[in-house]
């Protein structure tokens, strides 16, 4: 069968999102090709394609299956692609997966023929081969040691098209995303990750990590964004594993950035091993400098954890990127001022090199989402890119106030 994975175009004006290629489709492509299918990927968003461009492509290529990874911000665009596929290729099936499809399968099944819930590698072959399979089907976990290399050679556009995520250390086309762990056992109330079932963290065996890094080097990749939510700081066991990884990848001469968890598990020797292996920056999920807000978020992180983590990271020679969030649960003016003062202090101490300020958003699957729906916090005219635009009718911060707080913290970061 001929299968096409499409990342639909979502920006109707201005620059299109082309920071890095996602991993879900390339991973599934390899699974399907090993099963004898012809599978490929089109990042229509990255190349700035229009709906008419996608329609022409589908009409000319006549695929048997059209598949999309559905996120909250692209769900409407995925539906448009599905409707095009059904109209232009009446014999083709539309298969959907991803976080939003897992959280809201009934909604997605209004336009998709089948939905894969959770991880797809262990189920995608069956969904493609059995044309009678309809509705939602549970995915199945795959052993991280058995995870196939992503099929980047079957994806368009090539790596040279992408500019990389900030902070940027290499020329466009020289950065790629790699995922060395899966799962998150935490329950931050604003995060939709619990829809995947509070999985324990599963780590890729060290030889498999090395194999993937070498594979990416074949495409001219010199910098890797290890897109694991909390590659460092999640546990003592995880950090020992990371030290082993660092020892193996150090001789390859690449550079890396990743995300980390501010926690009591952070050890200077682990961060030093990362620095020696080529890591340049860690993106820390600070969110707030208010202890009250951190507790309300259910972060499992204290202010002491944050300060010690930032200090140890700088001692190891790493750059600190901080993720900050305004309008978190119950964040009043006093709490917000604590974040302003905390960020100012961290900047003065040289502990923050980069940063990003977002506004709390809520997606289906987030623990706080049900309360938000019940109490009318979520308006009907919600913007698609709502991480950076106030829209929730929160009792503690209006949309205008959310935007004001975002701008204040962004100004502090820029100084």
180, 114, 98: which is closest to 147 by C-alpha? 180
Q: What single DSSP character describes residue 160?
A: G
- Rg for the chain (alpha carbons), in Å? 21
Do 85 and 58 form a contact (C-beta atoms < 8 A)?
A: yes
What would the mean pLDDT of 300-320 be, rounded to a whole number?
A: 97
Where in 145-278 does DSSP place strands (E)?
155-156, 175-178, 181-182, 202-203, 223-226, 255-260
Exposure string of 130-146, with b = 16+ CB inside 10 Å and e = fewer, is eeeeeebbebeebebee
Which of 100, 123, 138 is the endpoint of a domain?
Answer: 138
127 and 185 together in one domain: no
242 phi and psi angles, rounded to 5 deg? -65, -35
Q: Find the domain containing 209 and state its range.
A: 163-414
**With 60 as the cut, is the pLDDT of residue 118 above it?**
yes
Residue 187's contacts (CB-CB under 8 Å, 6 or more residues apart) are: 194, 198, 298, 367
pLDDT(11) > 90:
no
Higher confidence at residue 133 or residue 86? 86
In the numeric block, which tokens belong to residue 62?
A: 């006549």
Q: Using the Cα atoms of residue 43, residue 49, residue 55 and residue 60 in order, give the sign of their dihedral.
A: negative
Total Cβ atoms within 10 A of residue 343:
24
pLDDT of 362 > 70? The answer is yes
Is the domain of 299 the same as that of 347? yes
- CATH number for the domain spanning 167: value is 3.20.20.70
pLDDT value at 234 more than 90: no
Q: Is residue 114 domain-shared with residue 170, that is, in the same domain?
A: no
Instruction: Say whether both 115 and 196 belong to one domain.
Output: no
Answer whether residue 193 shows pLDDT above 80.
no
Residue 174 has pLDDT above 80, yes or no: yes
- Judge if pTM exceeds 0.85: yes
| β-sheet with 65-69: strand ranges across | 135-138, 114-117, 93-97, 65-69, 2-7, 38-43, 155-156
Confidence (pLDDT) at 54:
94
Q: Is the pLDDT of residue 131 over 80?
A: yes
Domain-embedded: residue 171: yes
pLDDT value, residue 214: 98
Judge if 106 and 249 occupy the same domain: no
Helix/strand/coil for 272: helix
Q: Count up the domains in the chain and report the number.
A: 2
Q: Which one is predicted more confidently, 274 or 363?
A: 274
Task: Give the torsion through C-alpha atoms of 209, 210, 215, 219, to 10 deg.
Answer: 100
Residue 155 lies in a domain: no
Q: What is the pLDDT of residue 133?
A: 83
Q: Do residue 129 and residue 168 come from a single domain? A: no
Phi (first) and psi of residue 359, to 5 degrees: -105, 140
Q: What is the band of 387 on the pLDDT scale with cuts at 50, 70, 90?
A: low
Percent over 70 (pLDDT), the chain:
97
pLDDT tens profile 43-61: 999 999 988 999 999 999 9
125 pLDDT above the threshold of 80: yes
Locate the DSSP E strands across 8-91: 38-43, 65-69
The answer on pLDDT for 386 being more than 70 is no
Neighbours of 283 (CB within 10 A): 24
Residues 250 and 358 in one domain: yes
Domain with residue 83: its CATH number is 3.40.50.280
Residue 158 lies in a domain: no
Residue 42: inside a domain: yes
| pLDDT score of 384 | 55
Tell me how far apart the alpha carbons of residues 122 and 169 are, in angstroms, rounded to a whole number.
35
């Amino acid at each position: 069968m001929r299968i096409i994975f499409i990342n639909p175009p979502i920006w109707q004006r201005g620059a299109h999102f082309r920071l890095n290629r996602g991993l879900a489709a390339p991973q599934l492509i390899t699974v399907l090709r090993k099963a004898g299918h012809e599978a490929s990927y089109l990042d229509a968003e990255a190349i700035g394609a229009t709906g008419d461009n996608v329609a022409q492509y589908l009409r000319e290529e006549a695929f048997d299956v059209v598949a999309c990874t559905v996120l909250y911000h692209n769900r409407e665009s995925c539906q448009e692609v599905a409707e095009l596929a059904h109209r232009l290729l009446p014999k083709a099936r539309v298969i959907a997966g991803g976080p939003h499809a897992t959280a809201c399968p009934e909604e997605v099944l209004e336009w998709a023929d089948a939905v894969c819930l959770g991880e797809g590698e262990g189920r995608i072959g069956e969904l493609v081969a059995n044309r009678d399979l309809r509705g939602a089907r549970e995915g199945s976990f795959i052993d991280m040691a058995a995870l196939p290399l992503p099929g980047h050679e079957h994806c368009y556009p090539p790596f040279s098209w992408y500019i990389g995520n900030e902070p940027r250390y290499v020329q466009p086309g020289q950065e790629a995303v790699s995922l060395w762990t899966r799962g998150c056992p935490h329950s931050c109330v604003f995060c939709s990750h619990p829809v995947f079932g509070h999985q324990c963290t599963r780590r890729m065996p060290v030889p498999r990590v090395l194999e993937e890094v070498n594979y990416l080097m074949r495409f001219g990749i010199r910098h890797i964004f290890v897109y694991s939510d909390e590659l460092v700081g999640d546990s003592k066991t995880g950090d020992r594993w990371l030290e082993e990884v660092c020892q193996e990848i150090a001789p390859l001469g690449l550079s890396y950035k990743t995300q980390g968890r501010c926690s009591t598990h952070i050890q200077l020797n682990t961060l030093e091993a990362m620095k020696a292996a080529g890591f340049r920056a860690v993106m820390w999920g600070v969110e707030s400098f208010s202890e009250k807000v951190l507790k309300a978020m259910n972060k499992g992180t204290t202010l002491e954890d944050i300060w010690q983590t930032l200090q140890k990271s700088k001692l190891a020679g790493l750059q600190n990127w901080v993720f900050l969030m305004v309008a978190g649960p119950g964040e009043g003016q006093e709490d917000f001022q604590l974040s302003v003062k905390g960020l100012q202090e961290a900047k003065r101490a040289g502990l923050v090199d980069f940063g990003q300020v977002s506004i709390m958003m809520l997606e289906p699957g987030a623990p706080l989402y049900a309360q938000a729906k019940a109490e009318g916090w979520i308006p009907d005219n919600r913007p698609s890119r709502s991480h950076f635009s106030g829209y929730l009718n929160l009792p503690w911060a209006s949309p205008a106030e959310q935007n004001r707080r975002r701008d204040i913290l962004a100004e502090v970061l820029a100084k």
